[in-house]
Structure formats: C-alpha cells, structure tokens
Amino acid sequence: MDKQFFISNRKKLFKIMEDNSLAIFYAARTGPGKLPVEFAQKRNFYYLSGINVPNVILILYKKGKKNKELLFIERNIPELEVWLGKKLSKNNTKEISGIETVYYSDEFERHLHFYATSTNICYYDIETSLINSNLSYGLSQLNLIKEHYPILRIEKVNPFLSKLRMKKSKEEINNIKKAISYTNYGIRSILKHTKPGMMEYELEAYFKFECTKRGEKQLAFSPIVASGENATILHYEKNNSKIKKNDLVLLDVGAKCNEYNADISRTFPVSGKFSKRQKDVYKEVLQIQKKIIDSVKPGVTLKELQDKTIELMKEALLKLKLITKKSKGSPSPSPDISGAATDGKEDYKKYYMHGVSHHIGLDAHDLCDREKKLTVGNVITVEPGIYIKEEKIGVRIEDDILITKNGCEVLSSMIPKEIKEIEEIMAKKE
C-alpha cells in the first residue's frame, strides 16, 4: 500500500490526541532461534505504519503545532543473515511508512525517557489477557512505564482507532474487494470439486490453494468447512469429517489482501441438489438476509439490524415448524437449560444464536463501536443462519456490505448464493 495512506492515518490520530501527549505502539514480537512461522502483525501498528515485520516500536508525540513520529527497528546482525536474512533497513522503513525519524530498538529507552518526562498523557495500545496467563510484551512494558513514570496518565488509544478504522478509505475498500475476489475463486473451486466421501480438509485445501496462488498465504481466519451436523457448531474448526452424499456443507471462509480481510459464508448440498427440507430452510435464511441487506443504510445501528433479524427469524422458524406461537391459553412455561421458566419468547435461540453483523477490515471482526450509527464508508457483514442439530442441517449465508450514501453495496455479490446458481455450478463439475 502507498505510504500516503499510513501518513494520512497518523495525521487523523494526531488530530484526536490531546495536546502534550504521546502514543506508543508495539509491533508483534518474535524471538530468535525459532523455526519459521507465519507472521501476523498487530493491526493498529500496521494501520499507522505499514511496517509488517516484528519487534518494531512507534512513538507519536504531540505538543503545540509540532507532531513528531519515531520508529525504532532492530539492528541488522550479519552473523544471523544466513538464518534470518537481513533486517529492515532505515531507508526501507522510511519508504514504507513515510516516517523520516528512524532509530534502532536499543535507543528506545533513552528517547522514551525524554518524551515521558515532558508530557502529561500516554496513549497506549492496551491488550488484554486472561488473568492466569503470562503477560504479553506490551502489558509488561506498560507496567514498567507506569512504575518509572507514575505522573503519566495512561489512556487507551483503542477508542480513537476504533473511530478511525470504522470508516474505510477508497484504498482500504479496494483491498477488501480483492480479498473478496480471492474468496470467490476459492468457494467456486470448492463447489466444482466436492464429491461424497471426500474429507472436509480436502475442500479446505482447494480454498487455500486459490488464495495462495494469488499471492496471499495468510487467510482472514482459520476456514470453517462443516458438513452435516458439524454445520450446527458455529466455530467448528476440525474440518476432519467425511462428507456424506445427503449432507449440506457450510463454509465460513475469507481471504486477505494487504492485510485486509473478507468474511463470507455459503452453504451448499454435497449431492448437487438441495432436498426439499434443505431448500425450505435455505430459502428462509436467504430471504432474511436479503431483507436485512435492504435495511442497511447510513443512520442504522447493528442493534437495529439484529432486532429486525430476530423478528424475521421467529416468523421463519414458525413456517419451518421449529417453534410454535404462545397464546394466552398455552400451557405453563417450560424451564430453560438453567432451570428458569420461559414464556417461549426466546425459543428462537435454539436455532439462531448469534449476531447478524459485525464490522470488517484489518480484522475479520474489526474494531468498532456497536452502538454507533452506520456511516458512509463502513464495511459490515450480514449473516443470518438457522441451525437444526436434530436434523443435521446448518445454513448460514454471509456477505460483506459497504455502506454508501444512498444505502449499501454488496461487495460479495459475485459469489453464488441463489439455489439455482449453486446447483448449476455443481452440475458442471468434473
């Protein structure tokens, strides 16, 4: 991505920061002597710097009309080049980030001391972790900063970045579109190659291949390829079951492009033809999704979309004879799983138990304020589903949606979801 994008992001953050303050961001950490693993950069760090290597530190300092930007990179160690290659140079760092002041990591403490003793507020990219787990590097450093500079007021920077990252630039939207395009190739490959008796992980391999050959080795998240009853497990990740002829397969997959993610769900019949019951369930989910997409526009909140989804879902589940209406003369309420009495109003949760939407961007579930109204430039998902464990049927249909001035645009409209289109694609498979 062009460095102007990252320069612009830093300028936006500076405008929100209070005067006489600094902000500290750490890149993801790796240690020496480990076998190669796929590296995943911290999203806020990448959003502000464009640097996609580990162990780098960014300081932003605001005082009066002067904004200072400093990056701290690792020194190159010639003896390790044969194992790890050369470290990122100062010149390359400047070219990627647009930050002119670059030091080495072993100079960080000296510069931090200067800024920490001449400012009032430190904005920090605070991570959270379970209380019984080891502290992350960032939290360990935060404890040291608090101990050595107790006068500093520590503030979370996430609310600022949540506000900035929710509104996508043209370049960000283009990257999401490319990630969706790669996802489209992967899903179509799965549809063309699926046969009864295959393993779920074989279908996963077809998806990964289509993404990898387009230059994106990392995916948005670990693919979900769930057949039969597995499709009723929302975060099923094993992908190790044999696919049966009469199964539906639920895909929840997403590719990346320049760190930006797609998040798409599709459901299809292994046999190539939906059975009557499968078709009935699928039609209800698809109809709900289309109605919710029609409701997406500036000024709407995710909660409003969820509330409407629940109302539509109750009607759909009644049609499918999965729930029944409760009348005044109905029997006494039955206990729920906790033992408490229910009046039937929450019965839908047995078959639909998740949110219909989330923001998407650098994270598959991107930073956002769910209470805020949608605005132009937001990108969200719309993903209703019905999960009937006793019938071994799970259906979810998910698209990525751009909020526009007059409503919305379905960015993933090229990925097949109509029954006729899915069946035609599968009929042509070799």
Reduce the DSSP state of residue 260 to 3 states and report it. strand
User: Is residue 327 over pLDDT 60?
Assistant: no
Cα dihedral 125, 126, 129, 135 in deg (nearest 10): 90
pTM of the predicted model as reported, rounded to 2 decimal places: 0.92
Per-residue pLDDT tens over the stretch 402-414: 999 999 999 999 9
Q: What angle do CA 39, 41, 46 make, to 5 degrees?
A: 145
User: Is residue 258 over pLDDT 60?
Assistant: yes
Per-residue pLDDT tens over the stretch 77-101: 887 777 778 889 999 999 999 999 9
User: Is residue 15 over pLDDT 80?
Assistant: yes
Give the type of residue at 343.
D
Phi/psi of residue 206, nearest 5 degrees:
-60, -40
> In the structure encoding, which two tokens stand for residue 262, read together?
């797609």
User: Is residue 103 over pLDDT 50?
Assistant: yes
Report CA-CA distances (Å) from 130 to 127, 136, 221, 225, 422.
10, 10, 21, 29, 43
pLDDT number for residue 35:
63
> In the structure encoding, which two tokens stand for residue 114, read together?
């200067």
Q: What is the domain partition of the chain in residue ranges? A: 3-165, 167-327+339-427
pLDDT number for residue 340:
37
How many C-beta atoms lie closer than 10 Å to residue 76's C-beta?
Answer: 14
Q: What angle do CA 167, 169, 172 make, to 5 degrees?
A: 105
pLDDT number for residue 30:
87
- Homologous superfamily of domain range 3-165: Creatinase/prolidase N-terminal domain (3.40.350.10)
Instruction: Identify the band that residue 401 occupies on the pLDDT scale cut at 50, 70 and 90.
Output: very high
Per-residue pLDDT tens over the stretch 358-379: 999 999 999 898 889 999 999 9
pLDDT number for residue 130:
84
Instruction: Identify the band that residue 344 occupies on the pLDDT scale cut at 50, 70 and 90.
Output: low
Burial class (CB in 10 A: 0-12, 13-18, 19+), 262: buried
Reduce the DSSP state of residue 267 to 3 states and report it. strand
pLDDT number for residue 342:
43
Instruction: Identify the band that residue 262 occupies on the pLDDT scale cut at 50, 70 and 90.
Output: very high
Reduce the DSSP state of residue 248 to 3 states and report it. strand
pLDDT number for residue 33:
61
Q: 167-327+339-427 — its CATH code?
A: 3.90.230.10
pLDDT number for residue 337:
34
Per-residue pLDDT tens over the stretch 123-180: 999 888 788 888 889 999 999 999 999 999 999 999 999 999 999 999 999 999 999 9
Q: What percent of the chain has pLDDT over 90?
A: 84
